[in-house]
Structure 1
């Protein structure tokens, strides 16, 4: 936490309020992780229909992220943070109001906008505030709001569902979103960055991003986005089906405890991974994160006891805690402030698309071969992300492999662009 001591009191307060709002936001969202699939199941939906409803959440993310990324760059990060918390406070009332699958899909799509807005604004604002030399450490600490919220939410959600029913559960989720909104209102919005011609821009203009497809085609963005898409398959499989898989087995292990264990693992690894990445580079930790996701799915494929599920939860949490924060940090290294919101939005949209594909696609597989073998298919798909990052994360196979193992710097980081323009 030494880096925080170098900030003035006003900035530290700003970060503290932002962190608290993030904690409340993720608690609101994760209340529904172990319980919403069960609610949809109680309504009478099939495995495939549960996957479609849960996966439609990512449709809202995908449709809104590009617009919200541009909004964050043009109007400031606070504007999209407000949108995210407002949606989080409203959406739970939609679940409470209907049991129609069609309407639940629409509510789920609307709810997805909250994550698109909040994560884009939060990540961009923290990256703006963090000095480049301690960027990994600051982002690592500030993103602890996510695993903490994901630790509190599922356990509390499972308790509320069991003791008070779905009505109180949805109302409490909305209340947490509203309190997060009150916190974001207090956040000081930094001035909107405008592009100024700099020495770095002279080198960087060849990669200047003007629209969605140019962002996606840029070599510094394309491979991370595809990696996030493939990892999204793993995230979607776990978040949508692990509670139902547990319900279908004789193993005495609560779905809420699975997500809580995952969140604790995510929290624990973020405490040191961010700071270590400032020293050893982002590539090594991204590789580790992808490997953890693959390992978690293999464990779920073979799970036949509570210990297997616990280990899978720890591996999944370690993967999320390392990969997502390190990917955000790497993309911050590769972008300028006036384009950072858009680049974050596009890269993280890969994760959204993977989640959107995972729920219905793996739901169909689960209908045919069961939940267990479905996780095996998920492990195979996510393994492709590991191979891709090892071989295509930099200018060529050799440099990619060395960067992915922490043995070479990031060729696409802005500080390296001037001497590496021939490599991009």
Structure 2
């Protein structure tokens, strides 16, 4: 069966759109809420970091659980935790309680995104996996584009209370869609210990990690850098999101037809060039060009890396494979932001983007030298 747009695929993709929008509502607004609670810049960094750390830790465990007990229980639990924790932010009252809620929120994010992503791979036909993952990725891209703008508009015109309530409502819609979706699953026969990492994917994880470092640099420092050259900080991300939305379905189809290598190598080169361009940018035109190139390059490479990961991993270990994939991605963003932040004190923002380009070059070297060879040794699957 090669039909892509099945009812479960549409419901899960729409659910991810609602979940992502609820998540991105908080991205520009939570720092302001922390300030309102009396927190300083260090507290803002801590609250942001504890969420990522919690997501990484819980993601390590959820992959094996998905393979053994099914996707549905952890998807619903994750969405429930996600929505409750967001709604409870209103009653935090202090930074310590907010940090505790961020841990719960991170756990909900890890459970829900890993379970939904794995369920998507269950319902997408193998021969159209690249295209399916591309369209699925669009749901996060669209939420990334509208969430921050909507969140900012809500707190400017209403209140934090309204914003938390609306974010929780988006989570509830995602929960309803996930509950209604019928997801095929064949339980594990093996009852041994649960794996935390799919070892066959270590080269893929390393390549993805260095690619994600660049994304950490872009998300952390592009808003500040854009402001220094009198460019609206949201301009880069708007152009980037549009480019990403356009390219992902196209790149997915090309990946299915010509293979992931034909997509990943040129995409990493384009991502490298995007970062070189922005490291030299001094006006809106330079920022626009870099945003288009980064959207095309990063937007094509990330789902192709995931497709490679799913092909290299055993069929009954999709949960662990997806958890390993997203763990590498989260670590790249988190550790990359920290490392590049330290470097920025010495090399400036443009130097940070040049360093990010070097990280993408490392990703390219790793893919060519290890991942591509491992992929070529993997026998083609029938189905």
Instruction: Place the TM-score, normalised by the shorter chain, in its bin.
Output: 0.7 to 0.9
Q: Residues 14-71 of structure 1, C-alpha deviation per residue, up to 9 Å, x if partnerless?
A: 222112111111111122334445555776634x664444333321221011211112
Q: How many residues align?
A: 380
Change in Cα spacing, 1:332 to 1:26, as seen in structure 2 (3 Å) is same
Partner of 1:239: 219
- Counterpart mapping for 1:46-195 below 5 A: 46=41, 50-93=44-87, 95-98=89-92, 103-195=97-189
C-alpha distance 103-233 of structure 1, shift in aligned 2 (>3 A): farther
Deviation at residue 237 of structure 1 after TM alignment: 2.0
Match of 1:346 in 2: 324
Deviation of 1:105 after TM superposition, in Å, equals 4.4
Q: Tell me by how many angstroms 1:362 deviates.
A: 2.5
Conservation of the 8 A alpha-carbon contact between 1:154 and 1:259: no
Matching residue of 1:324: 302
Q: CA deviation at 1:319?
A: 3.3
2:69–2:187 CA contact under 8 A, matched in 1: no
Q: Normalization by structure 1: what TM-score? A: 0.79
Equivalence for 1:366: 344
The Cα shift of 1:156 comes to: 1.7
Q: Distance in 1 between matches of 2:295 and 2:31?
A: 20
Out of 78-87 and 165-174, give the one that drifted further: 165-174
Distance 1:314 1:90, change over 3 A: farther
Q: Which residue of 2 aligns with 1:4?
A: 3
CA drift of 1:266 comes to 1.3
Q: How far apart are residue 226 of structure 1 and its match?
A: 0.7
Deviation, 1:350, is 0.8
Alignment partners' CA distance in 1, 2:352 and 2:43: 16
Partner Cα distance (2:349, 2:102) in 1: 23
Q: CA 1:258/1:153 → structure 2, altered by over 3 Å: closer, same or farther?
A: farther
Kindly report the root-mean-square deviation, in angstroms, between the aligned alpha carbons of the 2 structures: 3.0
Question: Residues of 2 paired with 1:286 and 1:80: CA distance?
Answer: 31
Rounded Cα–Cα distance in structure 2 between residues aligned with 1:390 and 1:116:
30
TM, length-normalised to structure 2: 0.87
Q: Quickly say closer, same or farther: Cα 1:374–1:107, change in 2 above 3 A.
A: farther
2:40 aligned with 1:45, yes or no? yes
- SS of equivalent to 1:393: helix
User: What residue ranges of structure 2 are gaps of 5+ in the alignment?
Assistant: none
CA distance in 1, matches of 2:355, 2:178: 40
Assess, with a 3 A threshold, how the Cα gap between structure 1 residues 316 and 57 changes in structure 2: closer, same or farther. Answer: farther
- Name 1:212's counterpart in structure 2: 196
CA contact (8 A) 2:69 2:188 kept: no
- Whether the aligned pair in 2 keeps the contact of 1:54 and 1:240 (CA below 8 Å) is no
Residue among 382, 387, 390 paired with 2:368: 390
- Give the Cα–Cα distance (whole angstroms) in 2 for the partners of residues 3 and 308 of structure 1: 42
In 1, are the aligned partners of 2:61 and 2:196 still within 8 Å (CA)?
no
Shift of 1:339: 0.8
**More displaced stretch, 163-172 vs 334-343:** 163-172
Residues 168-317 of structure 1: pairs in structure 2 closer than 5 A: 168-195=162-189, 211-212=195-196, 215-216=198-199, 218=200, 221-247=201-227, 249-255=228-234, 257-317=235-295
Task: Give the superposition deviation at 1:223.
Answer: 0.8
**Distance change >3 Å, CA 32–CA 392, structure 1 → 2:** same
1:411 matches 2:376: yes
User: C-alpha distance in 2, partners of 1:120/1:354?
Assistant: 17
Q: How far apart in 1 are the matches of 2:98 and 2:271?
A: 29
Instruction: Give the conservation status (yes or no) of the 8 Å contact 1:195–1:338.
Output: no
1:114-150, Cα deviation, whole Å (9 max, x unpaired):
3322332222222222232222222222332221222
Q: Is the 8 A contact 1:55 1:358 kept in 2?
A: no
Cα distance in structure 2, aligned partners of 1:35 and 1:314: 26
Q: What SS does structure 1 have at the residue aligned with 2:380?
A: helix
